[in-house]
Amino acid sequence: MTLAVLASCALTGIDAPPVRVEVHLAPGLPSFTMVGLADTEVRESRERVRAALLSSGFDFPAGRLTVNLAPADLPKESGRFDLPIAVGVLLASGQIAMPSLAGRARARDAVPPLARLVLAGELSLTGALVPISGALAIALSLSRRQPGAELLLPAGSAGQAARVPGLRVYGAATLRDVVAHLEEKQVLAATARRVDATSGPPPCLSDVKGQYGARRALEVAAAGGHNLLMLGPPGSGKSMLAQRLAGLLPPLRHDDALEAAAIASLAPGPAPTFGLRPFRAPHHSVSGAALVGGGTRPRPGEITYAHLGVLFLDELPEFGRHVLDTLREPLETGRVSIARAQHRTEYPARFQLVAAMNPCRCGWHGSNVKACACTPDQVAAYRARLSGPLLDRIDLQVEVPAAGDDWADLPPGEPTDAVRPRVEAALDRQHRRQGCANAALAPGQVDDHCHPDTAARALWKQAMKQFAWSARTAHRVLKVARTVADLAGAEEIGSPHMAEAVQFRRPLRER
Ligand SMILES: [Zn+2]
């Protein structure tokens, strides 16, 4: 054969569109050319493929070798094309004798025909296969795009990919193993579907003593999908509370767990526990690209890694203002789109935002534990660092006072397992009523689903006037009141529900 065609895939966002790898060998002066908008990494692949073939005991063919990665307009970064290119070179130069190509009768379920097999893997110079990033994202996307396809990956990536139901995954340690598999000399066993490791319970709310107001805000946040800002001095337990939000949410459905794991597979490092909602807490020095995603070769940011989970921003005013501003759109749309010259990459980013801040720069404004060293102007300036539009998108704002002297004698708080059923019941009501959590109601839907009774409406209108709320803010308060009513199992929003929602929205500067 002088032309070999193999199937591989690119990775844009968490989607893995197919890529055709064509390898052509023609007589002539030895050369090795790659076409199809391959960037630096793919060009480096040339050297790795050559070395890996030689180290594995194969010949590098003498002749004009041309590799085309199609379609040309897909961005193709990463070394995952090494494997299909190397196999293509071996096929084109006649170094692999595939029984199925020779038309030999094959046992059913033996080695799949090449047409059904998708290959992805980076080669080391020794011919070993190096794990690739995004293996689970590739597997998930492939199972949706091409039912019946089979995936051949480096052994180190196959376990992850094998989580996807209905997809056959093979893992190979070296190029020689791949060749032995294709020649049916030593067929690889399909990787067994991973049984999900049981994880320990998430951190429990009973660890937080006292702090009734903040615990209540956390419950309301969980019960309606609302974003939350906690204001309090250092050591008052804001981080502890934030870490306990994900545990209050209903467990992830299997589809969602797979999607979260597919996103996690794009990051280097060990995979987080499967099935747990993500919790991400980037430092305030984070760049805009690291927070929302970006770069010349688009990479997901923290908000995507927090998809279906919680993004915790501690010391909110310390984050760069323009960095925080980049959150505004994803907070509305639940996704982030990164445009590059020829391509647009979209990542999911449906996360719940929990932010925390000190009341002032020194941290002790309004505390009776320690005196604040800031002037009133400094306090005002500190709070003014938060942009209005971002604050506007945070439905719940609550104070977390410093722990008093009696802290050690307080009984343990209500445990997560006792609070979660209330949250689940409230979310259940919302999904049955309107198909989404209250926080996700579009402006046009709010009037349909959030009915205050006469007293509640009067209270709402009065607060709207007193605090000079925009229409957007007033709508958000209505949604929080709806959640409070859902927690109480009430059909209509009553004035106690509205009063609590208004309380969560008092302007920061008045506290
Ligand atoms: Zn201060």
Average pLDDT score over the chain: 88
**Annotated domain spans of the chain:** 3-182, 205-433, 441-511
Specify which residues 153 forms β-bridges with: 171
Q: How far is the CA of 314 from the centre of ligand 1 (A)?
A: 17
Q: How far is the CA of 363 from the centre of ligand 1 (A)?
A: 5
State the CATH class of domain 3-182.
alpha beta
Separation between Cα atoms, residue 69 and residue 253, nearest integer Å = 37
Residue 199 scores a pLDDT above 70? no
249-258, 264-273, 486-495: lowest mean pLDDT where? 264-273
SS3 of residue 441 by DSSP: coil
Q: How far is the CA of 214 from the centre of ligand 1 (A)?
A: 21
Q: How far is the CA of 372 from the centre of ligand 1 (A)?
A: 4
Residue 90 scores a pLDDT above 60? yes
Q: How far is the CA of 370 from the centre of ligand 1 (A)?
A: 10
8-12, 44-48, 110-114, 419-423: lowest mean pLDDT where? 110-114
Instruction: Classify domain 205-433 at the CATH topology level.
Output: Rossmann fold (3.40.50)
Q: How far is the CA of 375 from the centre of ligand 1 (A)?
A: 7
What's the rounded mean pLDDT across residues 13-30? 92
Separation between Cα atoms, residue 175 and residue 211, nearest integer Å = 59
More confident residue, 198 or 9: 9
- Residues 6 or more apart in contact with residue 468 via CB below 8 angstroms: none
Separation between Cα atoms, residue 234 and residue 240, nearest integer Å = 12
Q: What is the pLDDT of residue 111?
A: 52
Q: Could you name the CATH architecture of 441-511?
A: Orthogonal Bundle (1.10)
Q: Which of 69, 119, 39, 121 is nearest to 298 (CA)?
A: 39
Q: How far is the CA of 340 from the centre of ligand 1 (A)?
A: 44
Q: What is the pLDDT of residue 101?
A: 57
Residue 107 scores a pLDDT above 70? no
Q: What is the pLDDT of residue 50?
A: 94
pLDDT category of residue 110 using cuts at 50, 70 and 90: very low
Residue 220 scores a pLDDT above 70? yes
Which percentage of the chain shows pLDDT scores above 90? 59
More confident residue, 343 or 135: 135
Q: Which of 256, 254, 207, 229 is nearest to 410 (CA)?
A: 207
Question: How many CB atoms sit inside 10 A of residue 87's CB?
Answer: 27
More confident residue, 37 or 136: 136
pLDDT category of residue 196 using cuts at 50, 70 and 90: low
Condensed to tens digits (0 to 9), the pLDDT of residues 425-446 reads 999 999 999 999 999 998 889 9
